[in-house]
Amino acid sequence: MRDQYVLWVCLASPLLILGLDFVNNAEWFIGKTGMSGDFADSLQRLSTQIFQGFRFGIEILILNGLVTFAGLWMISKKAED
């Protein structure tokens, strides 16, 4: 394992999932932050185009685990005999 990258992988994974959740649940984020205008409209359109009405629930935790596992797997080294 390349120890110097573990922290970065474990920090990047939740941030990537937060970005995905931001796009997936655009209406919730728009309502909570009070966004309006072109950015809010384009965010809603992007969410509809990508997810077609599907909303992540508890599945987001599974996705976060998978992304973290994949990142840690990518930085791992092959064991030496």
Which residue in this structure is represented by tokens 């969410």?
47
- Residues spanned by the domain of 56: 10-75
Domains held by the chain: number? 1
Domain assignment of residue 81, yes or no: no
pTM for the model: 0.81
Q: What are the pLDDT digits (tens) for 36-69?
A: 899 999 999 999 999 998 999 999 999 999 999 9
SS (H, E, C) the chain: CCHHHHHHHHHHHHHHHHHHHHHHCHHHHHHHHCCCCHHHHHHHHHHHHHHCCCCCCCHHHHHHHHHHHHHHHHHCCCCCC
Domain assignment of residue 47, yes or no: yes
Amino acid at 13: S
Domain assignment of residue 1, yes or no: no
Domain assignment of residue 43, yes or no: yes
Domain assignment of residue 3, yes or no: no
